A and B are shown apart, each in its own frame.
Chain A
């Protein structure tokens, strides 16, 4: 250990091609750093992350006897791992390493070259001062549970479950609705190939149900998540179905006999009715009804009824069912909670909710669906076929007053609607758009195709939809008023039906799921991936992955690709059988701890317990995430986070201020 007592520091300044070098005078920085105490060598090189760059470090450690390394380059999020590995390869503890970010924090954001060089000097000097105090730390290896939890049973969740289960892992799929399927189960055709959604969806749903590796929890929610990567302990709440899944044969008699028939069907977007005991749609998986307790005469209104129970031949109805809680040991979690369509009521100028012939896109999907309320005939409320239909793009999207982002799928599904309308009804179709966004494979071709089919495109955001009559012939129709920005005129188009292509927003309850799992969400509420480009399926919480629209709006091809990718990540993690836990965790010095328990309250991961015998707080190293809350809360300075000791942090700050 004597060699490590006398620090010999090697410092490497990266040019990052043209990213750092021309702005920061890297040679000047190296010259300056070379003169600092304990610095054995300071070099600059074109790409430190390249093989020769890493070899340079390894050789210097071996030949010059370095025992501390600093690399000044990009963000540690990018390459800290790379350089730690290089240090380890040379036989040094990887924590004898520190990184200075002179790209994102210096060259990219500083205008003046001189200023940038000075700033780089002090940041590298700070890293040198810090690494001086570094200590060797150890990571530990823990075995993992070979099981996957998937939250959300839309196409993303189903695919992730199937891929993981096919690889031989035990999967628990939790869906809060009575059936799996998500949004896709409501569609008739899907762009751009116009595949029949049911034909590609229903077999998958059955596969999920029948797969021996998948346990399906529908009408269930995740209640609690504890533990850490490889070793999560998850509590699932099975809401009472009031129907015994084991006894029910799915014959459907109860639904026919139920006298409470006038409940708006959620699955049909309120365009038809369902009974109090119901399956959302005939192909539901599992094909076991649930009783809607609010509307049920027995459960909700304390009335005599029980007709379903009388008619059920297998005696599957059980009005006394209580919520059930199941605890699962889980290795990896895939979040696939999807999206919900924006409710356009607050965009009053479009009259949704006021004018019966203004539909949302999800309503139109049902109107157009062979299993929908009109058996797939596109009809107005008065039973007539519309002669002219307007489709309004970007409703609630790309609008600073609502959602500022583009919802990505609405241009395409709008054109899908246009095609289907032309084909089924021959109606004149007018699309009002801002720009057409069709950047997928075969998407632009689809756009061309609908243009050839005679669909009219008006470039302009619609100002208003009104039932005010300008021309007596338009009595009973709606008028769409917009500025056509190509002809620079106001257009007024009388139509029979309007479809609002509403945007996508995170599913209701995403906030709660985020809180349960410790996931962060972006400004619009979508779950944050670990890195937009390099880790799009991982999250900042180790062992938790994202699939589908819960991460942001996307179409089915992207959703499925992402789901398979997330499953792949989970499999890769579980296949190894062990995970290394991080070394930067809290340490509570028992000699300094006064037993005040402040840290226990401050820890969001419940990682600290109280040792009654010794009257001190003790950290559970497996649970600690190294957030440092306890260190801040501790009044006796007993709690501290390894690799973030006072000496290290203060040393860094002092050097920065010099």
Chain B
């Protein structure tokens, strides 16, 4: 399988997302075609600034996807996912905005005729991962954390408030899952950088809930979520739960070595829970 991949600004520098994604895709024969010369998607802030600029930042990739000959665009970041989808939706509904965006892109030497489907890496792996045949991780209980931007507002992937696809996915690839109520609570997202103190509380709330419900490890589908939840735990002594990427767990399920998956980069070490008999 070949996919057109948009990494987004935080992918490469995150704690093992890049390593694990690449390792898993290699193992599953998924060819990751990175969009050449990609730019920041504008994240959530840009729409408040200027609609045309915000859509253009996103739409530049839509044009590049078209040049590459792909129908879909895949990203592993919830903020990118939400932002690109929002731009796609606006362009689809607003003829005038679409034409203006086309003009701007045209001046950059790019043509945009059709809007690709924006997909999350989770969808790709849900289709590609084989069912588990081993009991190795059956006793490792995972709390799945979706973040607030994956299923809302458009609820395409799953229900908006209490999604369950990640649980189904984890169970299918051989992990035990713990139900909990923090799955779509906000972790603070990019505000964690500027309003650190305010956002710490948000992250702690999520970690506490997942720990309360008995999970040993958290898994996330977004670099911002992972970073916020992981680093929030460096400053307090509440229960410490390693915060992994779903791709890292997928890698383990495929029999890849922890180091190959960048698991050593987590702030709260996962060594103990993963090496338990």
Interface of A toward B, CB cutoff 8 Å: 348-349, 351, 354, 464, 466-470
Contacts and interface: CB of A to CB of B under 8 A. Distances in A.
A466 B205 CA distance: 12
B205 A468 contact: yes
B181 A348 contact: no
Contacts of B162: 348-349, 351, 354
Contacts of A467: 181
Nearest to B163: A348
B205 A470 contact: yes
A468 B161 contact: no
Nearest to A346: B159
Given A466-B181, A468-B181, A468-B182, A349 B161 contact: yes
Interface in B143-195: 159-162, 181-182, 185
12 contacts: A348-B159, A348-B162, A349-B162, A354-B162, A468-B181, A468-B185, A468-B205, A468-B208, A468-B209, A469-B209, A469-B212, A470-B205
In the A-B complex, the 9 residue pairs with the smallest Cβ-Cβ separation, listed nearest first, are A348-B161, A348-B162, A468-B209, A349-B161, A468-B181, A466-B181, A467-B181, A348-B159, A468-B182
Contacts of A349: 161-162
Nearest to B212: A469
A468 B212 CA distance: 9
Contacts of B208: 468-469
Q: Which of B159, B182, B209 has the most CB of A within 10 A?
A: B209
B160 A348 contact: yes
A316 B185 CA distance: 59
Tell me the dominant secondary structure on chain B's binding face.
Answer: loop
A470 B161 CA distance: 19
Contacts of A466: 181
Contacts of B161: 348-349, 464
A351 B161 CA distance: 10
A66 B253 CA distance: 94
Contacts of B212: 469
Contacts of A348: 159-162
Interface in B193-217: 205, 208-209, 212
Tell me the dominant secondary structure on chain A's binding face.
Answer: loop
A585 B209 CA distance: 70
Contacts of A464: 161
B236 to A, nearest CB: 16
Nearest to A475: B212
Contacts of B185: 468
Nearest to A470: B205
A120 to B, nearest CB: 38
Q: Which of A351, A466, A468 has the most CB of B within 10 A?
A: A468
Nearest to B179: A354
A354 B208 CA distance: 20
A349 B161 CA distance: 6
Contacts of B209: 468-469
Nearest to B162: A348
Q: Which of A348, A351, A470 has the most CB of B within 10 A?
A: A348
Nearest to A466: B181
A431 to B, nearest CB: 23
A351 B162 CA distance: 9
A470 B162 CA distance: 19
A498 B202 CA distance: 25
A316 to B, nearest CB: 48
A328 to B, nearest CB: 47
A464 B181 CA distance: 11
Nearest to A349: B161
A464 B212 CA distance: 19
A484 B127 CA distance: 44
A467 B179 CA distance: 12
Contacts of B181: 351, 466-468
Nearest to A464: B161
B145 to A, nearest CB: 13
A657 B185 CA distance: 63
A215 to B, nearest CB: 48
Nearest to B210: A468
B148 to A, nearest CB: 12
A348 B146 CA distance: 15
A354 B163 CA distance: 13
A354 B183 CA distance: 14
B14 to A, nearest CB: 26
Interface in B210-232: 212
A150 B28 CA distance: 65
A487 to B, nearest CB: 21
A434 to B, nearest CB: 20
A469 B180 CA distance: 11
Nearest to B209: A468
A541 to B, nearest CB: 40
A354 B209 CA distance: 16
A354 B181 CA distance: 10
Interface in B238-274: none
B271 to A, nearest CB: 29
A257 B275 CA distance: 57
Given A348-B162, A354-B162, 12 more contacts: A348-B159, A348-B160, A349-B161, A349-B162, A351-B181, A464-B161, A468-B182, A468-B185, A468-B209, A469-B208, A469-B212, A470-B205
A464 B182 CA distance: 12
B154 to A, nearest CB: 13
A594 B179 CA distance: 71
B257 to A, nearest CB: 36
A45 B157 CA distance: 65
A466 B162 CA distance: 11
A354 B161 CA distance: 12
A589 to B, nearest CB: 51
A391 to B, nearest CB: 21
B101 to A, nearest CB: 29
A464 to B, nearest CB: 8
B265 to A, nearest CB: 29
Contacts of A469: 208-209, 212
A351 B179 CA distance: 13
A473 to B, nearest CB: 14
Nearest to A355: B181
A376 B182 CA distance: 35
A348 B159 CA distance: 8
A349 B151 CA distance: 13
Nearest to B206: A468
A349 B163 CA distance: 11
Nearest to A401: B160
A349 B209 CA distance: 16
A351 B159 CA distance: 13
